[in-house]
Structure 1
Amino acid sequence: MFLDVPEGKDPIAYVWGELVPGIGPAAATAATSVYEHSTLPLREFEAARLRIAQINGCVFCQDWRTERDGQKVEAGFDDEVRQWRTSGALDDRARIAAEYAERYALDHHGIDDEFWSRMRALYTDREIVELSMCLGSWLAFGRLNRVLGLDTVCVLPSHSG
């Protein structure tokens, strides 16, 4: 991390909560809202989230696993998402969630009618909008953490050392 964080301050809390008080707390609220209010099933949510994390390169985001009602995706799920085209562990909805995440992040101009036909066969309009909002949040805030080097100061145990 290259930002100057006052001694004794948590870098994440400082950057997201104190450094730009008119924006940081609002951004933090937006970022946490997708976890608190999403109605998407966990595997689809995590397939999309992990694909964005992989593309962003955010170490923390790649290591994070969303938990709902004491449940998390299985170990190795991140590898399945990385190989979403050929993975036998992803059902059609999780696979297209990962595909949408990749297209959203890397080629949003290339999202064509053929893709939307496949997407709309599996997801309702409400779910598409919800997933799109989640993708936007993860893309923006995961990149912010990665670009500013925050992802290396909030690393979970599996990436430390």
Structure 2
Amino acid sequence: MFLEIPDGKDPITYVWGELVPGIGPAASTLAMSVYEHSTLGLREFEAARLRIAQVNGCLFCQDWRTERDGQKVEDTFDQAVQDWRTTRDLDDRARLAAEYAERYALDHHGIDDGFWQRMRTHYTDREIVELSMCLGSWLAFGRLNRVLGLDAACVLPSHAAQA
């Protein structure tokens, strides 16, 4: 990480909270709201989130697993998402979520009518908008963390508790 973090400060808390106080806390609220208010199923949520993390290369985001009601995706889920085109470990909704995430991040101009027809077979308009907002948040903030080197400085709360 090339940013100067004052001694004793947590890099994420400092950068997202103190360094830019007019923007950071608001960005943090948006970033957290996709976890707190999502109505998407855990598997499609995680398929989209993990595919963005893989595209961004964000170490922290790739390591993170969303938990809902004590449930998480299986340990091999990240590989299934990486292999979304060929794996048998994703249902249609999760596969489409991973595909949408990749296209959203790498080729948003190439999203065509055929793709939208497939999406509308499995997702409602509300779910498509929600997923799109989640993708935007993950793409922006995961990439910010990766570019600034924060992703390597973060320690997952679950990892800190185990240490």
**TM-score over 0.5 for the pair:** yes
The amino acid across from 2:137 in the alignment is: S
For residues 156 and 132 of structure 1, what CA distance do their matches in structure 2 show? Answer: 25
- Size of the aligned set, in residue pairs, is 159
Aligned position for 1:80? 80
Aligned position for 2:2? 2
Aligned position for 2:28? 28
> Shift of residue 155 of structure 1?
4.0
> Shift of residue 106 of structure 1?
0.1
Uncovered stretches (5+) of structure 2, i.e. residues with no partner: none
Aligned position for 2:124? 124
| 1:75 aligned counterpart, secondary structure | coil
> Shift of residue 85 of structure 1?
0.4
For residues 36 and 100 of structure 1, what CA distance do their matches in structure 2 show? Answer: 21
> Shift of residue 152 of structure 1?
0.3
> Shift of residue 156 of structure 1?
4.2
Identity %: 84
The answer to whether the 8 Å contact 1:59/1:155 transfers is: no
1:24-79 deviation digits (Å, cap 9, x = unpaired): 00000000000000000000000000000000000000000000000000011000
For residues 12 and 62 of structure 1, what CA distance do their matches in structure 2 show? Answer: 16
For residues 50 and 66 of structure 2, what CA distance do their matches in structure 1 show? Answer: 10
Aligned position for 2:92? 92
1:70-129 deviation digits (Å, cap 9, x = unpaired): 000001100000000011010000000000000000000000000000000100000000
Aligned position for 2:147? 147
For residues 155 and 86 of structure 2, what CA distance do their matches in structure 1 show? Answer: 29
The answer to whether the 8 Å contact 1:46/1:66 transfers is: yes
Aligned position for 2:41? 41
The amino acid across from 1:70 in the alignment is: G
Uncovered stretches (5+) of structure 1, i.e. residues with no partner: none
Detail structure 1 runs of 4+ shifted over 2 Å in the superposition. none
For residues 20 and 156 of structure 1, what CA distance do their matches in structure 2 show? Answer: 23
For residues 108 and 24 of structure 2, what CA distance do their matches in structure 1 show? Answer: 27
Give the RMSD, CA atoms, in angstroms. 1.4
For residues 62 and 10 of structure 2, what CA distance do their matches in structure 1 show? Answer: 21
